[in-house]
Amino acid sequence: MYRNTRPGDEVAIIGIGGLGHLGVQLGEAMGCRITAFSGKQTKEGIDSIKELGAQEVVNSRDLKTVKDNGFTYNTVITTVPHVNKDFDVAFQGMVKPFGKFVQVGIPSYKDTMALDHIGLVFYGREIVG
């Protein structure tokens, strides 16, 4: 969990694998409201993620749904290295003004993560690792 995250904060965790599972559990233990973004959309997958402590599970592969969550979270933590420009910018757009986007997944040296420059400049968002 990121250092300035507090109880009651809205936190999105993208990529519910090894690190993502731990992020959900840690955030829930800290008293945050956790939304998990996962490609696991079976009933069993959603139920297992909710058992870890997520209050909501959202389809991370649906760009419209990701965009519909704009300006929602104090902190967005992604364990996914890189998807594509549209998803990179949409994931960053989920951060509230003056919130944090935490990139934990490490892209290959050949990949370049797209930046939401408008969000950085006009909404004071921070991107950290």
**Per-residue confidence at 111, pLDDT binned at 50, 70, 90?**
confident
Asked whether residue 52 is assigned to any structural domain, the reply reads: yes
The order of strands in the sheet holding 56-59 is 56-59, 33-38, 10-14, 73-78, 95-103, 126-128
User: How many domains is the chain partitioned into structurally?
Assistant: 1
Asked whether residue 83 is assigned to any structural domain, the reply reads: yes
- Give per-residue pLDDT as tens, 41-53: 999 999 999 999 9
- What range defines the domain where residue 25 resides? 10-128
The pLDDT of residue 2 is 62
Residue 94 has pLDDT above 90, yes or no: yes
Asked whether residue 1 is assigned to any structural domain, the reply reads: no
The pLDDT of residue 109 is 82
Tokens matching residue 20: 């993502």
Asked whether residue 65 is assigned to any structural domain, the reply reads: yes
Residue 5 has pLDDT above 70, yes or no: yes
Asked whether residue 3 is assigned to any structural domain, the reply reads: no
- Give per-residue pLDDT as tens, 55-91: 999 999 999 999 999 999 999 999 998 888 999 999 9
- Give per-residue pLDDT as tens, 78-87: 999 888 899 9
